[in-house]
Chain A
Amino acid sequence: MKSLAELKAIKEKAQAELAARENNVDGTRVLVGMATCGIAAGARPILTKFVGEISRRGIANVKVTQTGCIGICQYEPVVEVILPGQEKVTYVKMTEDKVDRIITEHIVNGKVVDEYTIGNCKL
């Protein structure tokens, strides 16, 4: 160890993983439906994409977790995004491309991507 800067570099690299171990329940929550129906429709890549992108962009205070079936299996993969103090927004028929826009517009800038929500989806 030659300098404080070197120590700081190690610290920053290792920090993201530890941040995920905090016991706070505030912050943004992203819930990916991972019941049998969700997995069959391809929810796994969506989940990993969310986790990967959020960590790559270094967005703090976002928790990505799985959830069970919410009963709209024909719309899977389903993702729910809950910003602190706001109503839950349900995105349906998710693809990996949609993930990028939801992160940029909704999670970072707080603007719901209306066209992907359940209300605007035609089967």
Chain B
Amino acid sequence: MYRSQVLICGGTGCTSSNSQKIIDAMQVALDKAGLNEEVKVVKTGCFGLCALGPIVIVYPEGCFYSRVEVEDVEEIVNEHLLKGRIVKRLIYNETLDVENDTIKSLNETAFYKTQQRIALRNCGVINPENIDEYIANDGYAALGKVVTEMKPEEVIQTILDSGLRGRGGAGFPTGLKWKFAAGNDADQKYVCCNADEGDPGAFMDRSILEGDPHALIEAMAIAGYAIGATQGYVYVRAEYPIAVNRLQIAIDQAREYGLLGNNIFDSDFSFDLGVRLGAGAFVCGEETALMTSIEGKRGEPRPRPPFPAVKGLFGKPTVLNNVETYANIPQIILKGSDWFNSIGTEKSKGTKVFALGGKIEHTGLVEVPMGTTLRQIVEDIGGGIPNGKKFKAAQTGGPSGGCIPASLMDVEIDYDNLLAIGSMMGSGGLIVMDEDTCMVDIAKFFLEFTVDESCGKCTPCRIGTRRMLEILNKITDGKATMEDLEKLEALCDYIKENSLCGLGQTAPNPVISTLKYFRDEYIAHIVDKKCPAGACKNLLNYSIIKDKCFGCGMCAKQCPADAIKVTDYIAPGKKLAAYEINTEKCIKCGACVASCKFKAIIKE
């Protein structure tokens, strides 16, 4: 028994800011202090508050150290772990109770208070590479219950009753998917998991794989039992090395314990799992393309029907769900469909994990009940917009979704409400934008992504999105006409109606929704040749107000393009000659504005 446990985040975010080195240094420092028998270091998955990483939590006190660096490790060991003196300068300030000189529980902070963790319940709590810790938190109890006590039909009924809908974005009822696949007789069926998370800004699935891989394995085995499949595949992108590694470790451990393999819990049920790596094509997140890719062929979508439940992987009935969907399953089995059903809104049950990113204070991972408003997520949990800027819009659903403007911040987020306002749930990326963001530029960014990622099989997507991008480029360059805008809208409709798969059908969404809520910005670019947010460089000009210029020359020194030169003009009351910008040479980097102490340089 260890008297103290040090939990260090080993998620991708904290790892990239050196948490592995902190873990190593911690072990060395503990050895040096002779504490290695008393204090245990545990590498966990993501705690969610990635903005404050690398994160170190010390139990039993529950001290939350944020932005820890390798140099801080010795102080934590010598002061806190040896002498019991908390290192206050590293404590996350929201957990510090200054009045009573104590620390507060993490659950009392704004970030965690309103969250409800079901899919993420083990992330940041257990060591994902240790199956015993997962079992200690009721792990594999749901699989045990299903295999020994329930009939496959009962499992499917429980999932149906729970109201769980696919967390990959489209929101199809999971139980129904299982029911279809169970109803089709075949000599072989498959259970697949879509872990090909490709939306820019989304990292929910990765965090679950990194923090709680056994939850996925358990859920897939349950799905296998429910539909009568003996083999499963997890399709995960190769760009997630930590996730792939932990998943493989977890699969090996589960096999060793006999939780995967033949005759699980001494029953007739056998199930095994394989990992298939995706090379990073966005289209392989589409279900038919994903299965084609698992088969070893080029990842291209095919028309539906037949749906995967009828003819899926290798032509056999297949259930394909997203990582987060699976992560909910064991809890539903253990706590019952009524429990799950009681969380969320009328048509969207349970919780949703969002990856908060963009212009927001607390970048990270949050899980909230369905029906939470965007305002709560951005302002309360997310801590608002940095630098006192104003919220402008949030993009959900990545390149397939749309933006939610400030006026709709109080809409309760669930599948149907988001569709109604022209966005979609998507897999859960939530990118926050402030007043400096140009909405045309954002639409262009997402369209550039879809142009790159179009597989090229169907014409509307391959050529249509490229034509759209050309028009958007014309707009941000100030060369477009109102006629171009009409063409753009017509193209949106055409691509939406005629594309083969979800990628193409949803590709115009960012343009459609920004046009719906920020049409005036498009018009400002086209008619006035101005970018209201000041983001589109080709519509910007920097100039020096000569009467304000003191002639110090700082701007000229900073200018990387040598575009600022001194003039003959000396402003009244000043001693040195003013400077001016040669707009033809100017590359619009803004370095001069930052260097001017007298605020004499303006951009417009």
Complex Cα spacing A52 to B59, Å = 16
- CB interface residues, B 247-274, toward A, < 8 Å: 257-259, 264-266
- CB interface residues, A 23-64, toward B, < 8 Å: 23-25, 31-36, 39, 47-48, 50-52, 55-56, 63-64
Complex Cα spacing A109 to B439, Å = 66
- CB interface residues, B 495-516, toward A, < 8 Å: none
A-B contact pairs, 20 of them (CB 8 A): A1-B258, A4-B148, A7-B135, A7-B141, A10-B135, A10-B136, A11-B138, A11-B139, A16-B1, A17-B133, A18-B137, A20-B5, A32-B84, A33-B84, A35-B83, A39-B82, A51-B38, A63-B60, A66-B83, A68-B83
Task: Please encode chain B, from 133 to 147, with 1 for each CB lying within 8 Å of some chain A CB and 0 for all others.
Answer: 101111111001000
Q: Which residues of B contact A13 (CB under 8 A)?
A: 132, 136
Interface centre among B84, B133, B144 (most CB of A within 10 A): B84
Residues B38 and A20 in contact, CB atoms below 8 Å apart: no
Q: Which residues of A contact B5 (CB under 8 A)?
A: 17, 20-21
Flag whether A2 is at the interface (Cβ < 8 A): yes
Residues A21 and B59 in contact, CB atoms below 8 Å apart: yes
Number of chain A interface residues as a range:
35 or more
Flag whether B107 is at the interface (Cβ < 8 A): yes
Residues B133 and A7 in contact, CB atoms below 8 Å apart: no
Residues B265 and A4 in contact, CB atoms below 8 Å apart: yes
A55's nearest neighbour on chain B, judged by CB, is: B1
Q: Which residues of A contact B136 (CB under 8 A)?
A: 10-11, 13-15, 17-18
Residues A18 and B125 in contact, CB atoms below 8 Å apart: yes
CB distance from A10 to the nearest CB of B (A): 5
Interface centre among A20, A33, A50, A67 (most CB of B within 10 A): A20
Residues A14 and B61 in contact, CB atoms below 8 Å apart: no
Residues A51 and B1 in contact, CB atoms below 8 Å apart: yes
Residues A3 and B2 in contact, CB atoms below 8 Å apart: no
Complex Cα spacing A3 to B136, Å = 16
Flag whether A65 is at the interface (Cβ < 8 A): yes
Complex Cα spacing A33 to B38, Å = 16
Interface centre among B3, B62, B85, B125 (most CB of A within 10 A): B3
Contact surface of A with B, Cβ cutoff 8 Å: 1-4, 7, 10-11, 13-18, 20-21, 23-25, 31-36, 39, 47-48, 50-52, 55-56, 63-68
User: 10 smallest A-B Cβ distances: which pairs?
Assistant: A66-B84, A14-B136, A55-B1, A51-B3, A1-B258, A14-B132, A63-B60, A23-B105, A34-B84, A15-B136
Number of A-B contacts (CB under 8 A): 103
Interface centre among B1, B38, B106 (most CB of A within 10 A): B1
Flag whether B126 is at the interface (Cβ < 8 A): yes
CB distance from B120 to the nearest CB of A (A): 15
Contact of A47 among B3, B61, B132, B135 (CB under 8 A): B3
Beyond A2-B265, A23-B105, A35-B83, whether A18 also contacts B133 by CB under 8 A is yes
Q: Which residues of A contact B82 (CB under 8 A)?
A: 34, 39, 66
Q: Which residues of B contact A65 (CB under 8 A)?
A: 4, 60-61, 84
